[in-house]
Chain A
Amino acid sequence: MRVRRVIVGSVVVVAAFVGLAGCDGEQAATPVREAPGRESLYVALGGEDVFGGPGSLVTGWPRVLFRTALPITATFVNLAGPDDGAADVLRRQVEVARELRPDLVTITVVHDAERGIDAAAVGADLQAVVERLRDGTKTRVLVGTLPPDAAAPDVVAALNAAVTQAANASGATIVDLSTVRSTDPAVRGSEIASVFAAAL
């Protein structure tokens, strides 16, 4: 009797031991970490305010918009030129942009205010840019107005009226940058980016 009990007891202990050791724990499953999102392309067009000065690689507003307001699946290309105005955008940037087939395009043409280009001409060029970008595509175009400190108030007002009319006529979304005040490049970049982000 005692023998039987000891033998049965031993068998139970050994079996439990083996069974416990048999639990391998969970195998690490392949993690599905990457959020399944559609790849998208954002292209920035414009002049020096888009091209940016020193440090703008990190703090320029198109970069900030790309980094903070768009999903991780977005790709960003900046085609702006340091001296480009609306005419240059139409002549040099828009076809390159069309080839890339972007989902989102932002355009600002501050440089024209400095060069004193005629507001009507700027408006006409801008409208042509937007129409070309949207011709047969689903590209969303955001056009930014000039911030108040871009030039003299009457120049800014005239250009903004032309820009707004061009945007409305061509189906672009107008983004009002009249609240942008900061002169610090890093802060200004964030300010402009957040206004554009709100319009997305």
Chain B
Amino acid sequence: MTWADSIVMAVRSIRRRFGRTVLTVAAVALAAALLTSLLIAVGAARSRVFDAVSKGGPLTGIQVSPATPDFGQLDSDSAKLGDPRPIDEAARRRITALRGVKSVVALVSSSVFVIAPPPPEVADPGREVRQVEPFRGTLTGVNLRRVGELPVTVLAGELPVPESLHEVAVTDAYLRAVGLRSTDANAVIGTEVEFGAPRLFARGDDGTVRGRWTRSTIVAVVAAQGASGEFIGSLEQVQAARAWTAASDVVDGREARQFAEELAVTSKYSGLFVVTEGFGSVGPVRAAITKIGYSSSAPESLIASVRRYSQVVEIVLTAIGLIALGIAALGIANAMLAAVRERRREIGVLKAIGARDRDVRRVFLVEAGLLGVAGGLVGTVFGYGLARLVGLAVNNYLSGQGLTGVRIGLPLLIFAAGIVGSGVLALVAGTLPAQRAARLPARQAMGDG
């Protein structure tokens, strides 16, 4: 009996028992769909999270502060600040050139006077709201085109347009300053805030401070790791403010000198965010930065824990998928054993007309294999669709955070493995029934008695 004949016989037999076939294929398809969607999700998460962790992104970043490192710096995730030490262009270049550094994002900040808008309507009637007095705040400027490299999470609204001079994001510190809670984030979106960069003008023997005032719309509320200021805006916005302050007259008066000290633009950069090439580079780069003479912070131990737990989750998910496939295989074995019992006489007839044991075994194995492949094909495609649906939901959340989404693809490997794996599993499951069928005596053709 040729392979082609075995396949035709198997197909005919499958068609004859259509209901049972559909159920068996459905069981395999569900298991294959589960395993496929889990594998795709794990792969996407790995590329999104692990790559972000292992190949350089906000999670593998080091924050450099304009201060010397204190004792025990490298043993701690957080910065241990020593004496102030400005970060100048030379320092930035040195740090950028370090081995293991992928890129450096400069942070520039300016101390500004702030006139906050009248408090918005808040839902809680019991809460007393009042006009906020002008206060001194910090406006931090970053290259907004590179904000994806920074540990910034959008909590409400959308980040300012790159290079904008009149849009700003605020942090939780701003909400507290104006008497609001973190839950009131949406209430400040769209309101206008006024910034006044101070400058000292000589006036007779003393000086007078004049502000350069600009208006900005609050477009986002963000959580920025390591940022202690209230506002985040474009580099251009802050540089304009710092240029105004830097043009201050030198005045001899005591008060004027005190003011000048407070506002002195001593450090070209108020901080650096160093993106490393991967998680493995964080430690060595931090050590190098400490050696150059700056204090730094990086969530090394936190990330190591996250990675460990992620790997555990990955193992568990894969195991779940495999268990599901195992259950489906048991289903195939059970269905086929029942089929062998029912088809005893048919098998006997086959043998009676001259089929060998191995011919009979082949027919049943082909049948099992076809069920497995069909289930694997349907299941893999279905699983891919499922993963894309989940990906839609995830991407909606991520884009709301101002982060790039995940790409859900169906790697050829997973597709092929799903089909081939299901086929192989079905063959394994069908081995016992096929063997039992092959061993049936030809006498079965004559029925009982």
Chain A residues close to B by CB (< 8 Å) = 2-3, 6, 10, 14, 17-18, 20-25, 27-28, 30-34, 39, 57-58, 63, 66-67, 72-79, 81, 92, 96
The answer to whether A21 touches B392, judged by C-beta atoms less than 8 angstroms apart, is yes
Give every chain A residue within 8 A of B158 (Cβ-Cβ).
28, 31
CB distance from B296 to the nearest CB of A (A): 32
State the majority secondary structure of interface residues on B: mixed
Chain B residues close to A by CB (< 8 Å) = 15, 18, 22, 113, 115, 131, 134, 158, 161, 164-167, 192, 194, 201, 203, 208, 210-217, 219, 378, 381-382, 384-389, 391-392, 395-396, 399
Q: How far is the CA of A14 from the CA of B213 in the complex (A)?
A: 60
The answer to whether A75 touches B18, judged by C-beta atoms less than 8 angstroms apart, is no
Give every chain B residue within 8 A of A92 (Cβ-Cβ).
203
List 21 contacting pairs A-B, 8 Å CB cutoff, sorted by A. Answer: A3-B18, A10-B378, A17-B382, A17-B385, A18-B384, A18-B388, A21-B384, A21-B391, A23-B392, A25-B392, A25-B396, A27-B399, A30-B161, A57-B113, A58-B115, A75-B212, A76-B213, A76-B214, A77-B211, A79-B210, A96-B201
Specify which of B131, B213, B396 lies most central, judged by the most chain A CB atoms within 10 Å of its CB: B213
The answer to whether B210 touches A21, judged by C-beta atoms less than 8 angstroms apart, is no
Give every chain A residue within 8 A of B384 (Cβ-Cβ).
18, 21
CB distance from B199 to the nearest CB of A (A): 9
Q: How far is the CA of A149 from the CA of B203 in the complex (A)?
A: 30
Q: Out of A10, A27, A32, A63, which one reaches B161, CB within 8 Å?
A: A32
The answer to whether B211 touches A34, judged by C-beta atoms less than 8 angstroms apart, is no
Give every chain A residue within 8 A of B387 (Cβ-Cβ).
21
The answer to whether B134 touches A33, judged by C-beta atoms less than 8 angstroms apart, is no
CB distance from B224 to the nearest CB of A (A): 20
Q: Out of B210, B214, B385, which one reaches A78, CB within 8 Å?
A: B210
Q: How far is the CA of A77 from the CA of B131 in the complex (A)?
A: 23
Q: Out of A2, A28, A72, which one reaches B215, CB within 8 Å?
A: A72
Q: A6-B18, A32-B161, A58-B134 are in contact. List 11 more A-B contacts (CB 8 A).
A: A3-B18, A21-B388, A30-B161, A31-B158, A33-B167, A39-B165, A57-B115, A67-B215, A72-B192, A73-B166, A78-B213
Q: Out of B115, B208, B382, which one reaches A14, CB within 8 Å?
A: B382
Q: How far is the CA of A70 from the CA of B296 in the complex (A)?
A: 43
Give every chain A residue within 8 A of B194 (Cβ-Cβ).
67
Q: How far is the CA of A92 from the CA of B385 in the complex (A)?
A: 74
Give every chain A residue within 8 A of B166 (Cβ-Cβ).
34, 72-73
CB distance from A8 to the nearest CB of B (A): 13
Q: Out of A3, A22, A73, which one reaches B165, CB within 8 Å?
A: A73
Q: How far is the CA of A165 from the CA of B343 in the complex (A)?
A: 118
CB distance from B418 to the nearest CB of A (A): 14
Chain A, residue nearest B404 (CB): A27
* Known A39-B165, A92-B203: A77·B115 in contact at CB below 8 Å: no
Give every chain B residue within 8 A of A39 (Cβ-Cβ).
165
CB distance from B160 to the nearest CB of A (A): 8
CB distance from B135 to the nearest CB of A (A): 11
Q: How far is the CA of A75 from the CA of B194 in the complex (A)?
A: 10
Specify which of A20, A21, A28, A67 lies most central, judged by the most chain B CB atoms within 10 Å of its CB: A21
Give every chain A residue within 8 A of B382 (Cβ-Cβ).
14, 17
Give every chain B residue within 8 A of A18 (Cβ-Cβ).
381, 384-385, 388
Q: How far is the CA of A33 from the CA of B163 in the complex (A)?
A: 12
The answer to whether B165 touches A78, judged by C-beta atoms less than 8 angstroms apart, is no
Chain B, residue nearest A79 (CB): B210
CB distance from A186 to the nearest CB of B (A): 11
The answer to whether B192 touches A77, judged by C-beta atoms less than 8 angstroms apart, is no
Give every chain A residue within 8 A of B395 (Cβ-Cβ).
24-25
Q: How far is the CA of A26 from the CA of B167 in the complex (A)?
A: 24
Chain A, residue nearest B217 (CB): A72
Give every chain A residue within 8 A of B210 (Cβ-Cβ).
77-79
CB distance from B172 to the nearest CB of A (A): 23
Chain B, residue nearest A16 (CB): B385
Give every chain B residue within 8 A of A76 (Cβ-Cβ).
212-214
The answer to whether A24 touches B392, judged by C-beta atoms less than 8 angstroms apart, is yes
Q: How far is the CA of A28 from the CA of B388 in the complex (A)?
A: 18
Chain A, residue nearest B216 (CB): A72
The answer to whether B165 touches A21, judged by C-beta atoms less than 8 angstroms apart, is no
Q: How far is the CA of A48 from the CA of B219 in the complex (A)?
A: 36
Q: Out of A3, A6, A22, which one reaches B388, CB within 8 Å?
A: A22
Q: How far is the CA of A26 from the CA of B211 in the complex (A)?
A: 43
Q: How far is the CA of A20 from the CA of B386 in the complex (A)?
A: 10
* Known A10-B378, A72-B192, A81-B203: A21·B385 in contact at CB below 8 Å: yes
Q: How far is the CA of A90 from the CA of B210 in the complex (A)?
A: 18
Chain A, residue nearest B214 (CB): A75
Give every chain A residue within 8 A of B399 (Cβ-Cβ).
27-28
Give every chain A residue within 8 A of B381 (Cβ-Cβ).
14, 18
Give every chain B residue within 8 A of A33 (Cβ-Cβ).
161, 167, 217, 219
Q: Out of A6, A24, A32, A79, which one reaches B22, CB within 8 Å?
A: A6
The answer to whether A31 touches B161, judged by C-beta atoms less than 8 angstroms apart, is yes
Q: How far is the CA of A39 from the CA of B194 in the complex (A)?
A: 15
